[in-house]
């Protein structure tokens, strides 16, 4: 890791008028063109961006995050023309882009040789997505470069979904931090590999497996692949510890009322209880931080895990949700945060 020595400029775009915003975005674009690093908001989580075509700039992302440099990055674009990045756009990719871009879907495609190996972790494929966030798109256009960007957290911490957390993690480590609204999805994008014989979901997100299957027909998902720690990293968390707060996290799975009773019984003074509503069971439970829906839980979970650490909780008990729709993505992140510590609750 580097020393804290970069003079970081911070701008909360939400507080600026249109002219000021435009000026800051042009400045940020210039920072990117000169090989610098800029943190920016997206609808999923905040990203830590640099020019995807500049190997030196990409290396400074890894340095800022303290992340091992063999982990490939997602390239963010503001244009549907991918010819500078990928060898060809298969028909399936074109359909998905039409349906879900801009939005939380990353496509893995065969890369053009011009994309540096620093960006793709030496793979012959490249991950591409178009974020659904005006400021992000404006930054990419101002830079006139595709932006390689991982989540804007220090490696190992939960991804940041607010401007404030980006500052806490990366002040002094990047050239610029741009803030806007809190991320509206709250979980990182869906990652779909389109380079094999059958499309494969590598990371579930807000573009759900069901949505992908509706368009593509067959899509493979092997959840157990993410359980193994000894294989080459193909999707986040497959090798490195991810999403984890300092407090120990345990998931409780079973019928909603039974789970809530059980968590209550097992807790001690330094345990945070998190309940997640399903259709019948959205009522606030005293002593339990309750999210009325899976969408609400997804949007708030990373921020909640960070706050639990700030408030000194030693344990976090979380009610498991059904692994379908957005619940598949939420459970994927929660299981990693819990290091697969899951209690089955029987009535």
> CB of residue 288 vs ligand TXA: minimum separation in angstroms?
29
Contacting ligand TXA within 291-320 (CB under 6 A): none
User: Is residue 188 a contact partner of residue 182, using CB atoms and an 8 Å limit?
Assistant: no
> CB of residue 175 vs Mg ion: minimum separation in angstroms?
20
Cis upstream peptide for 156 (omega within 30°):
no
Q: 156 vs 217, which CB is nearer to ligand TXA?
A: 156
Q: 76 vs 260, which CB is nearer to ligand TXA?
A: 76
> CB of residue 43 vs Mg ion: minimum separation in angstroms?
15
Q: 32 vs 127, which CB is nearer to ligand TXA?
A: 127
Q: 174 vs 288, which CB is nearer to ligand TXA?
A: 174
* Per-residue mark of binding to ligand TXA, 157-196 (x: CB under 6 A): -------------------------------xx-x-----
Of 133, 72, 140, the C-alpha closest to 104 is 133
Binding-site member from 42, 60, 208, 319 for ligand TXA (CB under 6 A): 42
Give the interface segment with ligand TXA, choosing from 86-94, 121-129, 209-217, 320-328 (CB under 6 A).
121-129
Q: Do the bridges between strand 200-203 and strand 220-221 make them parallel or antiparallel, or are there none, so unpaired?
A: parallel
Of 62, 10, 5, 86, the C-alpha closest to 41 is 10
* Per-residue mark of binding to ligand TXA, 198-237 (x: CB under 6 A): ----x------------------------------xxxx-
Distance of CA 174 to the CA centre of its chain: 19
- Does residue 74 interact with ligand TXA by CB under 6 A? yes
Q: Which of Mg ion, ligand TXA, none lies near 47, with the C-beta cut-off 5 to 8 A by kind? A: ligand TXA
Q: 233 vs 325, which CB is nearer to Mg ion?
A: 233
Residue 271's beta-bridge partner residues? Answer: 315
Binding-site member from 36, 38, 41, 44 for ligand TXA (CB under 6 A): 44
Contacting Mg ion within 115-174 (CB under 5 A): 151
Q: 199 vs 236, which CB is nearer to ligand TXA?
A: 236
Q: How many residues bind ligand TXA (CB under 6 A)?
A: 27
User: Is residue 159 a contact partner of residue 139, using CB atoms and an 8 Å limit?
Assistant: no
What is the contact surface with ligand TXA in residues (CB under 6 A)? Answer: 42, 44-45, 47, 71-74, 106, 108, 120, 123, 125-127, 131, 149-151, 188-189, 191, 202, 233-236
What is the contact surface with Mg ion in residues (CB under 5 A)? Answer: 151
């Amino acid at each position: 890791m580097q020393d804290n020595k970069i003079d970081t400029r911070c701008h909360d775009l939400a507080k600026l008028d249109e002219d000021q915003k435009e000026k800051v975005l042009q400045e940020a674009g210039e920072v990117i063109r000169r090989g610098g690093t800029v943190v920016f908001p997206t609808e999923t989580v905040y990203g830590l961006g640099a020019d995807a075509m500049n190997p030196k700039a990409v290396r400074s992302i890894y340095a800022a995050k303290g992340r091992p440099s063999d982990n490939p990055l997602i390239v963010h674009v503001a244009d549907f023309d991918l010819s500078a990045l990928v060898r060809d756009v298969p028909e399936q990719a074109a359909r998905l882009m039409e349906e879900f871009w801009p939005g939380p879907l990353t496509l893995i495609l065969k890369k053009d040789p011009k994309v540096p190996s620093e960006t793709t972790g030496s793979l012959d494929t490249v991950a591409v997505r178009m974020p659904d966030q005006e400021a992000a798109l404006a930054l990419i256009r101002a830079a006139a470069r595709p932006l390689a960007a991982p989540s804007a957290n220090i490696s190992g911490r939960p991804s940041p979904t607010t401007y404030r957390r980006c500052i806490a993690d990366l002040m002094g480590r990047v050239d610029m931090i741009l803030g806007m609204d809190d991320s509206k999805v709250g979980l990182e994008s869906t990652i779909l590999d389109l380079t094999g014989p059958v499309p494969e979901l590598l990371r579930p997100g807000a573009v759900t497996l069901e949505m992908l299957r509706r368009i593509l027909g067959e899509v493979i998902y092997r959840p157990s692949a993410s359980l193994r720690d000894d294989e080459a990293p193909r999707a986040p968390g497959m090798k490195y510890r991810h999403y984890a707060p300092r407090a120990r996290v345990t998931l409780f799975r079973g019928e909603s009322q039974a789970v809530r009773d059980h968590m209550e019984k097992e807790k001690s003074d330094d345990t945070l209880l998190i309940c997640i509503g399903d259709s019948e069971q959205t009522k606030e439970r005293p002593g339990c931080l309750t999210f009325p829906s899976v969408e609400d839980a997804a949007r708030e979970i990373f921020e909640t895990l960070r706050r639990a650490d700030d408030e000194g909780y030693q344990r976090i008990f979380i009610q498991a949700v059904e692994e379908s729709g957005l619940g598949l993505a939420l459970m994927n992140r929660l299981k990693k945060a819990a290091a697969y510590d899951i209690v089955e609750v029987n009535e």
